[in-house]
Amino acid sequence: MDLGIDRIINMLVQGVLLGGLYVLYGTGLSLIFGVMRLVNLAHGDFIVLSAYISLILAGFGVNPLISIVIVVPVMFVLGLPLQRFVLNRTLGKGIMPPLLITFGLSVIIQNALQLGFSADTQGLDAGALETASITITPSLSIGLMPLLTFVIAIAVLIGLQVFFRRTRLGRAFRATSDDPEAAEMMGINSRHVYALAMGLSLAIVAIAGILLGVRTNFAPALGPARLLLAFETVIIGGLGSIWGTLAGGIILGLAQTIGAQINPAYFQLSGHLVTLLVLVFRPTGLFAVTRDK
């Protein structure tokens, strides 16, 4: 195996950029857990659902990247009643009800997609942008889509950071996360905050789903594997830390790309191994800001 310096740099760059997609997977999951301690097992299926909504729009000639401006608000609006009328009822009753409900949702979404679109794999065509790349050196070129994905991921994280630190609603999110009952005593309707958090989570999921669809093929049953990647990103980075999620995504992306260099079959495996190592040696993640005992 030839491991020239160019090859190594190339591998590292691809790994980091791949991490951008995982950051987008993990952020929505982490947000929901952070605000209401809810583990959304249908998270991956919402990612796939978003790709399918973009696919429908592609039928009307909408470029997938343009469809972001439609799919993001659609998923946001979908999140509000989902939380208000379904998930809010499951909160505060132990860990099982939300797990069961979101697991059920996962099954429903997968089957509905299969019914509507068949089990065939689909793809989103973003046109020339998909294959465009920037040549850095003769042996190193960066694909424009992976780069764009990474930049979007960073932009989402910066946006969230500003939202949480600087806005009235962001403070309400953090207060509710700390102590929902005390937050209610301060005039914050926690049920409403939860609904907005789910909307925000699904809005980020929408971006992730479309970028997934442009990057690779997707099928109705692909959700749980996306959920696993989202989990791994969050586990490596540490729950509740925005920048930890960034690190988690990058580490996962790097692990997979490096593993694949050794043997293409190790792509998934090496990511799981790194996650396992973090779980063994630092169960709270590398950058956790846990307040939970």
Partner 1 sequence: MTPVLSVQSIESYYGQFQALSGISIAVEEGQTVAIIGANGAGKSTLMKAIAGVHPPTKGAIQFRGKPISGSSAYALVQQGIAMVPEGRRIFPSLTVEDNLLVGAYSGRKGQWTLDKVYELFPILKERRKNGGTDLSGGQQQMVAVGRALMSNPELILMDEVSLGLAPIVVNEIYEVIRRIAALGTTILLVEQDVSRGLREASYVYCLLEGRISLEGKPSDLKKEEISRAYFGI
List interacting residues with partner 1 (CB under 8 A).
168, 171-172, 174-175, 177-179, 181-190, 289, 291
Q: Which two tokens stand for residue 72?
A: 């993001």
Question: Minimum distance from CB of 194 to partner 1 (Å)?
Answer: 13
126 close to 64: Cβ distance less than 8 angstroms: yes
- CB nearer to partner 1: give 95 or 291: 291
Cα–Cα dist 208/20, whole Å: 9
Question: Minimum distance from CB of 137 to partner 1 (Å)?
Answer: 45
> Counting every residue, how long is the chain?
293
- CB nearer to partner 1: give 158 or 186: 186
Question: Minimum distance from CB of 244 to partner 1 (Å)?
Answer: 14
Q: Which two tokens stand for residue 32?
A: 């929901």
Question: Minimum distance from CB of 160 to partner 1 (Å)?
Answer: 15
- CB nearer to partner 1: give 171 or 272: 171
Question: Minimum distance from CB of 79 to partner 1 (Å)?
Answer: 21
- CB nearer to partner 1: give 33 or 150: 33
Helix residue spans in the chain (DSSP H): 5-36, 43-59, 64-81, 96-117, 144-166, 168-178, 180-185, 190-215, 223-237, 242-262, 266-281
DSSP letter, residue 228: H
- CB nearer to partner 1: give 82 or 193: 193
